[in-house]
Amino acid sequence: MSPIELNKRQDTILQIVKENGPITGEQIAERLNLTRATLRPDLAILTMAGFLDARPRVGYFYSGKKTMATVTESMMNLKVKDFQSVPVVVAENMTVYDAICHMFLEDVGTLFVVDDHGFLQGVLSRKDLLRTSIGSQDLTKIPVHIIMTRMPNIVYCKKNDSLILAAKKLIERQVDSLPVINEKEEGIEIIGRLTKTNITKAFISLADTHDL
Ligand code: ADP
């Protein structure tokens, strides 16, 4: 979808109608010190593009239609990199006990597990840790690599992916968080963390941007 570029006068007209609509073409022209005839092409463009609606004997009023198109368009433009959080990683040999402490201290719901080179090996969720805790094992003796979800089963995203694609992965795979990764020959580097909270923040930012 290519956005329609409005010129300065069309923007001004839109603003006038937003604030004063319904308003007649004549009244808009008066406010701009222009003739109705001069404005006709601008009003036609704004109406055709769906910015404005015109009702006979009532005048022009602002239509929400274009707003929806703009919201959709900006939604498609949201990128993972603009909303991702800092990843929290732990070593494969960290004990489950320490991982639980780490999760509390870092205030996150998912820890990423890395090898000695810092490359992604696994994911630990709250429930992975809870599940282990309700057993009778000594949590200070079990390394996290025993209980983590490991590669190649990890769902991830990349910084330039659209946020919508990442959101779909979160929902379809029923997980709370995706590592944002950079694939290197030597291994998978973790450069971010994308959670459902990030998606919710993006949702709010869309509403703010569009004054919804
Ligand atoms: P919780 O288990 O606390 O509800 P999740 O729904 O994120 O949190 O995790 C569910 C399961 O999926 C866990 O076993 C976890 O290890 C695994 N998991 C979490 N994130 C991912 C991911 N990005 N890719 C693959 N598996 C994951």
- Tens-place pLDDT, residues 104-159: 999 999 999 999 999 999 999 999 999 999 988 999 999 999 999 999 999 999 99
In a domain, 178, yes or no: yes
Report the SS3 class of residue 174. Answer: coil
Q: Does residue 181 line the site of ligand 1, with CB under 6 A? A: no
Q: Does residue 74 line the site of ligand 1, with CB under 6 A? A: no
How many A from CA of 21 to the centre of ligand 1? 51
**How many of the other CB atoms lie within 10 Å of CB of 83?**
20
Residue nearest to atom 6 of ligand 1 (CA): 175
- The neighbouring-strand residues paired with 188 are 183
Question: In this model, does residue 65 exceed pLDDT 70?
Answer: no
Contact 27, 11 (CB under 8 A): no
- Domain final residue pick, 59, 76, 93: 76
Same domain (yes/no): 67, 91: no
How many A from CA of 175 to the centre of ligand 1? 5
Instruction: Identify the band that residue 6 occupies on the pLDDT scale cut at 50, 70 and 90.
Output: confident
Q: What pLDDT score was predicted for residue 165?
A: 96
Reference 94, options 129, 52, 143, 47; nearest CA is 143
Same domain (yes/no): 70, 15: yes
Report the pLDDT averaged over residues 187-208.
Answer: 93
**Which residues contact residue 140 at a Cβ distance below 8 angstroms, ignoring those fewer than 6 apart?**
95, 96, 97, 98
In a domain, 150, yes or no: yes
How many A from CA of 109 to the centre of ligand 1? 9
Same domain (yes/no): 28, 66: yes
Question: In this model, does residue 44 exceed pLDDT 80?
Answer: yes
110/201 Cα distance (integer angstroms)? 18
In a domain, 205, yes or no: no
Same domain (yes/no): 54, 90: no
Report the pLDDT averaged over residues 183-201.
Answer: 97
Question: In this model, does residue 162 exceed pLDDT 80?
Answer: yes
Same domain (yes/no): 104, 19: no
- Domain final residue pick, 58, 76, 94: 76
Instruction: Identify the band that residue 72 occupies on the pLDDT scale cut at 50, 70 and 90.
Output: confident
Q: Does residue 100 line the site of ligand 1, with CB under 6 A? A: no
Question: In this model, does residue 2 exceed pLDDT 50?
Answer: no
Same domain (yes/no): 138, 191: yes
In a domain, 110, yes or no: yes
Q: Residue 51 is part of which domain span?
A: 8-76
- The neighbouring-strand residues paired with 53 are 61
CATH number reported for the structural domain that contains residue 175 in this entry: 3.10.580.10
pTM, entire model? 0.74
In a domain, 207, yes or no: no
Q: Does residue 128 line the site of ligand 1, with CB under 6 A? A: yes
131/145 Cα distance (integer angstroms)? 14
How many A from CA of 174 to the centre of ligand 1? 7
Q: What pLDDT score was predicted for residue 67?
A: 64
Q: What pLDDT score was predicted for residue 1?
A: 42
